[in-house]
Amino acid sequence: MSGLSNHPFVKMNGLGNEILVVDMRPDPRRISAADARAAAAAVAYDQLMAIYPPRSDGTDAFVRIFNNDGSEAGACGNGMRCVADILLSESGRAALAVETPAGVLACWPGEGRLTATVDMGIPRLRWDEIPLAAPAADTRAIDVQVEVAGWPALRSPSAVSMGNPHAVFFVDDLQAYDLGRLGPLVEHHPAFPEGVNVSLASVTGRDRLRVVTWERGAGLTRACGSAACAALVCAVRIGAAARAATVTLPGGDLGIVWRADDHVLMTGPVAYEFEGRFDHAADASGGGAR
């Protein structure tokens, strides 16, 4: 039986990043890659956030994160805001600590209703932390190039990990590139042994960036919170932006701050769409939701 059979879910989104939240705390069954793929066939999502009981002292929950291809991710900023809103509303507390595969993240309410702030932690900048396949003396611009006939080549991205690996290409015109075709080439480039999230970023002011992202394991997305964080960090590292900026994604704006203590804070909205329940056949053979 699937770990999600007969299990309720909440469909949410963060700036159009489609998030499926399942609360596994009452019945912490294991979710497999096949379960996650079957869930995506039943209810389309970009990331599935599975909330489990805390496994470490001082934390309020443990969250596993699945992409819609069944692979697991270490971080998902928009998904964490959705989880944070659920847990903060449930507890009535002013702040929570949620453990993810990338580490423990602090979460607290934003200034407005249905907004949340997540401390995404400290960026990992060394080549072996991202990770890259080979040493790179300066991850602000690594030796990677991809090209599709008829479109400009993408060259020398900045690389960083925000709990998951990111390659950020700084370009003047986001529309000049076919990210739907270039994204998979970068995601699976041999320079990135664990794959990579691929973003195009345009700096339109010291405190404003525009970003589009191809997500590892999910594809083109209207918003990727960790990519927004990665883009700001990389822009600061090349001297193109201040440490606090509005990052505009196809789905809307996120406020990103890279604090003096090196922690990156992400603030933005969440939205509730609907609730449902997977049926008993929601396993590796298919199934649906109701």
If we measure between CA atoms, which residue out of 56, 64, 78 comes closest to residue 23?
Answer: 64
- Give the separation between CA 271 and CA 9, rounded to whole angstroms: 14
Q: Is the dihedral of CA 270, 178, 219, 197 positive or negative?
A: negative
- Three-state DSSP class for 45? coil
- Give the separation between CA 179 and CA 162, rounded to whole angstroms: 21
- Cβ–Cβ contacts within 10 Å for residue 284, how many? 13
| Tally of helices (H runs) and strands (E runs) in the chain | 4, 19
Known catalytic membership, residue 76? yes
Task: Give me the residue label for tokens 């994204």.
Answer: 183
Annotated active-site residue in 82, 107, 224, 229: 224
Residue 70 token pair: 């069944």
Residue 220 token pair: 């083109």
- Give the separation between CA 135 and CA 199, rounded to whole angstroms: 22
- Give the separation between CA 122 and CA 246, rounded to whole angstroms: 19
- Three-state DSSP class for 13? strand
Q: Contact at 8 Å (CB) between 46 and 74? A: no
Alpha helices in 166-224 (DSSP H): 179-187
What are the residues whose beta carbons fall under 8 Å from the beta carbon of 66, sequence distance 6 or more?
Answer: 31, 33, 36, 47, 48, 50, 72, 73
Annotated active-site residue in 76, 82, 229, 234: 76
**Torsion angles phi and psi, residue 33, rounded to 5:** -60, -40
Known catalytic membership, residue 82? no
Active-site annotation, residues: 76, 224
